[in-house]
Amino acid sequence: MFPKYKGLAGKTAVVTGGSGVLCQSMAKELARQGMQIAILNRNQEKGQKVADEINQLGGTAMALSCDVLDNESVKHAYLVIQREFGECDLLINGAGGNHPDAVTDKEIFERGDFENASLKSFFDLELQGFDHVFQLNLVGSLISTQIFAKGMTQKGGTVINISSMSAPAPMTKVPAYSAAKAGIDNLTKWLAVHFAEVGIRVNAIAPGFFLTEQNRGLLLKEDGALSERAEKIIQHTPQRRFGQPEDLLGTLLWLADEQSSRFVTGITVPVDGGFMAYSGV
């Protein structure tokens, strides 16, 4: 159980992609801290389930169907939230993900790969899939920040983006996702500088390797054993385990609370069990 941060109580948090494993854990903890929570999801039903859980526990939450790539959809969500909860104080840009058309089958290209018609190499990646990943991870965060941070310019506020282990050192097989998350780190710094004088702090959290619905098929075999890729991850994580959603919450609360991190802006905080610190030897 985390201590209560009095500075968060009564304020409004907007969480895009709020039904995901990691973001719903964040939303529930922020609600426990006394914040009003708006869950933004393309799938209204999934978002509503999270909001219902928060409300049943005595918190205050709503769920809205919202496509972060549709300017009008985000504007509509903003107007509803403003009417019901007031201006946004904390924006978590959690919507993101990958796409099969932007993933290679092998980690390393070899000359003989051209002879295997069933193998998807770098040269077979589809621009549509690559663009989708960039749009969802980078442009979606941009649009949401443009709309929700506008009200923050009058009173201050906090934006937290979601980065990745793949931003500083790109993971194999996922070039689009890696490049998009590197863009998130860069955009976080740019926004932090741009908004510093109006009291908006912008930071990012880079989760290490957590089991989620999106990556479960890559990290676990059908029998529940670790895949070869997962074995590599664990071997390169000094704490020798995957992260659990609650492992992110201490960092989240620190960055969200104005009194705790008021001189912190423009950084990406890894929460990774030591993954980025380990050279492999």
Catalytic residue chosen out of the listed positions 5, 78, 177, 278: 177
Q: What is the DSSP letter of 85?
A: H
92 closest CA partner among 168, 178, 184: 184
CA atoms within 13 A on the CB side of 119: 16
176 closest CA partner among 107, 271, 104: 104
CA distance 205 to 96: 13
57 closest CA partner among 33, 77, 85, 23: 33
13 closest CA partner among 32, 33, 36, 29: 36
**β-strand partners of 227:** none
CA distance 78 to 255: 22
Contact 31/37 with Cβ under 8 angstroms? yes
CA distance 198 to 183: 23
Handedness of CA 210, 144, 253, 41 (dihedral sign): negative
Beta strands in the chain (DSSP E): 12-16, 36-41, 60-65, 90-93, 157-162, 200-207, 268-271
CA 122 to chain centre: 26
Cα distances from 198 to residues 148, 157, 192, 203, in angstroms, run 14, 9, 10, 15
Tell me whether residue 278 is one of the annotated catalytic residues: no
Instruction: Report, as residue numbers or ranges, the catalytic residues.
Output: 177
